[in-house]
Every structure is written in C-alpha cells, then in structure tokens.
Chain A
Amino acid sequence: MNYQFDFGPVLEGLPELLWGCVGTLSLALSGMVLALIIGIGGVLLRDSRVAALRRLVISFVEAIRNTPFLGQIYFIFFALPMVGIRLDPTLTAIIALGVNGGAYAIEIIRGGVQSINKGQIEAGLALGLSRPLIFRLIVLKPALRAIYPSLTSQFIMLTLTTSIASAISAYELTSVGQAIETNTFRSFEVYGVVTLLYLAMSWMLMQMFARINARYLSYPLK
C-alpha cells in the first residue's frame, strides 16, 4: 500500500463541513417535529370510531415502513411534480423525513398509550384529582416515559437517515462532503471525517436525550 493520506483538503473544508452538520441537524429537527405531529395525529385517527380512517392509518404505516426511504424521497421529488406538486430539495427532505418518522412514531406512541392501565385513571378519579391533573400525572407522564427510549432512538435513526437526502442534493453534511470530494478526489479522507462527524452528532443527541430523561422523566416508581 503506497497511498499517501492527505487530510489537507478536508481540513480546509472543515468550516463547510461544520455548516453541513448544522444543515443535517436542522433537517433532522424539522423532521422530528413533523414526525411527532404525524405520530400524535395518526394515533388519534388510528383509534377513531370511523373504520375507514383506522384502515387508512394502518395502510399508511405499513406502506411507509415497508418501502425504502430513498424510494419515498425520490417519489416526492420526481413523481409528485407530474401531478403538479413541486417542492425544493430541503422541503422535500423535511416532508419525507417527517412522513417516514411519523409512521414509526404512530406505532411507538400507540404502544405507550395502550400501556396505561384504565384502573389508574379510575383510581385518580377516586382520589378526587382534577381531569387536567389526571391527564398530566397519570396519562401523559407514564406514557412519555414508556415511549421515550424507543422514540428517541428512532429520532437518532432519523438523524442518520438525513444523509440519504443528499440523493436529491438537499443541503446537509453528506452533500457538502460530496462537493468537497468532487473537487479534491480525497474520497476516503472526506467520507472518513464525515462519518466521524455523524458519529459525534448521534453521540451528542444520545447524551442530550439521556439528560432530558434523567431530569424530567425519572422519578421513583413506588
């Protein structure tokens, strides 16, 4: 092996790469917010009295979870303009991330809501707690705690998924890396550093989620 590693171009491009990280995190954050909205809305519809709505949500979840993200983002970006819906890459990426994450969020949130025992609510009523207090202490907090681990690891996965948005050249870390690679041909060095930046971001998110968990969601069970 007589290859000379040269990290010079990568170091020169470091400010751009860091801006790419900002792009990735803002895509991820917008995607998460949209995913949460779709998740909560989906759960409400999933358990509605109208059978057609229930079936619609089930089909949506199954369709999204059993097709590749790349296919979904291509579909929005290349196929929807044929029916008159034209979106720019960033908006496409956010919608694709939100829709994809939302399908997973529906299943996760639904599991959390179902984990609340009805007897708990009745016990709260018997103790004379007010309705808002029952919702906050007996429904919301335990449900949040039940879904928190899977929801946050889903969010970290969503953050890693943003790299696929480079396929439609949305502004994020991978596409910034690709631009540097095209100019310098230092493929391994560029993608190696980009990979480590992703590792740092997912580690940072993990720490942040763990802090939030320790601060707000852990209290003695008994």
Chain B
Amino acid sequence: MDKNQILFLLGGLRWTLALSAIGFVVGSVAGLGVALARTSGWRWLERSMAAYIALFQGTPLLMQLFVVYYGLALAGLKLDPWASVSIGFTLHAGAFLGEIWRGSIEAVPRGQVEAAKALSLNYLDRMRDVVLPQAIRISLPATIGFLVQLIKGTSLAAIIGFTELMRAGTIVSNQNFKPLLVLGLVCALYFALCWPLSLYGAWLERRLVTAAR
C-alpha cells in the first residue's frame, strides 16, 4: 500500500466523520423535537411521531437511504448526493434518538414533574430546568450506544456510491489486490472510532447503576 492510497483512505475517513457528525448533531435536534412531541399529551402529535419512529425502526437503514435519495430527487430538489445522504442519516437518527429520549423523559420520576407544576413552573422551565437535565443523564449510555451504531451505519453510504471510508477501502483494494490488508485496516479504523465510545458508554452505564443504588 503506497502513501497515496493511505491518504485516500484517510480522506474517506474524513467523510465518515463528517457524515456521523451531521447525522448526530442535526438528528439530535430532530430527536429532541420528536421526544418532546411524543410526551406532549397531544394525541395526534404523539401518534404521528410514534408512526415515524415505527417506520424508521422497522425498516433497514439501507432502504431508508435509498428512498430518501430517490425521493428527494423526485420532489424536484436538485441536491448533491452528499446532502441527500446526510438528510437520510438525520431522519434515521431523529427517529432513534427520539425514541431513546422519550424513554428517558418518561423515566424521570413523576413526582419531579408534579413538584415543578406545584411550583407553577411553565412547560418550558419545567422541561429545561427539571425534566431534561435528569433525562439526559439517564439517556447517556443509550445515546452513546446509538452514536456507535450511526458511525457504523455511515458505511452504508458506500453502497449508494458515496466515497466515505468503506468505499475508499473497496476502491483501494480493487487497485492493489490486497483486500485482506486494506479491509482489515478499514475495519481497524472503524474500531478505533467506535471502541472508545463503547467503553465510555459502558462506564457511564455502570456509574448510573451504582448511583441508583
């Protein structure tokens, strides 16, 4: 493997990082909205968000990317592939994070909400100062677990033809006929991204369990 090929792989890694970051950050905003809508008490809103979550949790990520990719083109939006793929990952992350955070919001003891209401805090203050800070703490291990899934999931953009780390790897291995080395290296790079996060998530979870005792 020569220097150019290694640089090419690292260029792909940059796109993997960018896709993961966009999916996670924009998906977090969407997910927070979904979680709040899911716990809003408005039935039609809760139902429609539940349907959105069920749709994205019950179908393969690859199909979601395909449908968003071709669907946006049909809707007349002339986006470059990388914008379409980002939108696909964002919608995916919004559904999963929304479901994780809904669970965490509901896991905050009821007495906390009642006490906040008794103090006549309005919805915004109640969420911002009482419920969400506790919910975020509860949700952190699962959120980090999902971030790992998302980073691994960005590899599917390769199937659409987007040159991130995985596709960079297949391109290089088709050039130098060393798939064992190149694909091994690509997997090692993914591992280097995901493993520290997994360890951090496991540590947070242990701490949460100990704190609850």
Contacts and interface: CB of A to CB of B under 8 A. Distances in A.
Interface in A128-171: 156, 160-164, 166-167
B156 A62 contact: no
A187 B198 CA distance: 37
B159 A167 contact: yes
A215 to B, nearest CB: 23
Contacts of B194: 65-67
Secondary structure class of chain B's binding surface, majority of residues = helix
Contacts of A160: 58-61
A3 B74 CA distance: 7
Interface string B140-182: 0000000010001101101100000010011001000011100
Band of interface residues on A = 35 or more
A203 interface: yes
A191 B184 contact: no
Contact of B158 (A66, A70, A174, A199): A70
Secondary structure class of chain A's binding surface, majority of residues = helix
Given A79-B183, A83-B180, A188-B71, 9 more contacts: A62-B195, A66-B152, A67-B190, A74-B166, A82-B180, A160-B59, A163-B62, A198-B63, A202-B58
Interface of B: 55, 58-64, 66-67, 70-71, 73-76, 148, 152-153, 155-156, 158-159, 166, 169-170, 173, 178-180, 183-184, 186-187, 190-191, 194-195, 198
26 contacts: A1-B76, A62-B195, A63-B191, A66-B148, A67-B152, A67-B187, A68-B152, A68-B153, A69-B155, A70-B158, A71-B155, A71-B166, A71-B183, A71-B187, A74-B166, A75-B179, A75-B184, A79-B184, A82-B178, A83-B180, A161-B60, A163-B62, A164-B60, A191-B70, A198-B60, A199-B59
